[in-house]
Amino acid sequence: MARDIDALTAATLKHLRDRWWDEAFTSFVRVTLQPRAGNRILDVGCGTGTAEINISRLGLSQVDLCAVDLLYARVREALMATRARNMPVGFAAADACALPFRDGAFDSVFCVAVLQHVRDVSSALREFARVTKPGGRVLVVEPDNSARYWYSASEAGRRAFELGQRFFATLAQSRDDLTDPAVGPKLAGLFPLHGIQPLSVHLFPVSSTRLGAPPPAVWEARREAVRAAFAKAPDEAIRRLGADYVKLLDKYAREAADAGPSFVEIQNTMLFAAVGQKNEE
């Protein structure tokens, strides 16, 4: 499945919900969660409501869908998007590690591309288990950001990927923003520690292939993403590293233009969908 990703602009997989979520994945969520009339389902990290809009197309009118996100602005945008489609979804601003719901409030819980940004993954999984009824399903989907495959026909492209990885890692460390880049494949092994029985693990490739020199807009988006990242860097050394990275991207763009139709760039990583069931009490 071709996806819209760019390892040169972030250390984690971005835009998974709005650019990656498709009908096939929606069907996977439905088969996995096994919703029935009257069920309550919680979406942790709803973003702008992509999941809710897609799930509503399945005709699950008798399912009580609730969604939370850490940022109020995203919750508000998701609420407006679903209201415009007359979808009855409950929203709240909440932390995945401190969900504002009683024990066993939901028949199932799902979370997509959120824990890659969470420092205390165990606390989040503990909360998912707590708010799920005994016997209910838990679905968590995360990438392995430490195992990205990258190929470029350009020498500058290969160097840019390496420098980008170093830049984003240094930036995260300076902000004490240390999350687990390889959280995806670890999820099923963490489930039993929190009262969740692992049932299965499904793999979804996330890939991008460019043949021929990318248009100028691609390079400008890459430069702007890096500039925005190092503009807020806490020290001069990181800002210099970011500036060096932008210069290397400029060289990469020139080499790509010179290569023309022979230019090739391939990116790939993997999403791990861990399916579990809350232990019966």
Q: What pLDDT does residue 226 have?
A: 94
Percent of the chain clearing pLDDT 70 (strictly above): 97
Q: What pLDDT does residue 1 have?
A: 37
Q: What is the pLDDT of residues 62-99, one digit of tens each?
A: 789 999 999 999 999 999 988 888 888 899 999 999 99
Residue 58 pLDDT greater than 80, yes or no = no
Domain boundaries, the chain: 16-144+179-205+271-278, 147-174+209-265
The C-alpha atoms of residue 6 and residue 145 are separated, in whole angstroms, by: 12
**The two structure tokens encoding residue 159:** 């160097």
Q: What is the pLDDT of residues 23-32, one digit of tens each?
A: 889 889 999 9
- 209-240 in b/e form (b: 16+ CB < 10 A) is eeeebbeeebbeebbebbeebbeebeeeebbe
Residue type, 245: Y
Residue 3 pLDDT greater than 60, yes or no = no
CA distances from 236 to 176, 230, 243, 245, 249 (A): 17, 9, 10, 14, 20
Contact between 54 and 21 under an 8 Å Cβ cutoff? The reply is yes
Rounded to two decimals, the pTM is 0.91
User: Which of the four pLDDT bands, split at 50, 70 and 90, describes residue 232?
Assistant: confident
Q: Which CATH number does 16-144+179-205+271-278 carry? A: 3.40.50.150
User: Which of the four pLDDT bands, split at 50, 70 and 90, describes residue 61?
Assistant: low
User: Which of the four pLDDT bands, split at 50, 70 and 90, describes residue 101?
Assistant: very high
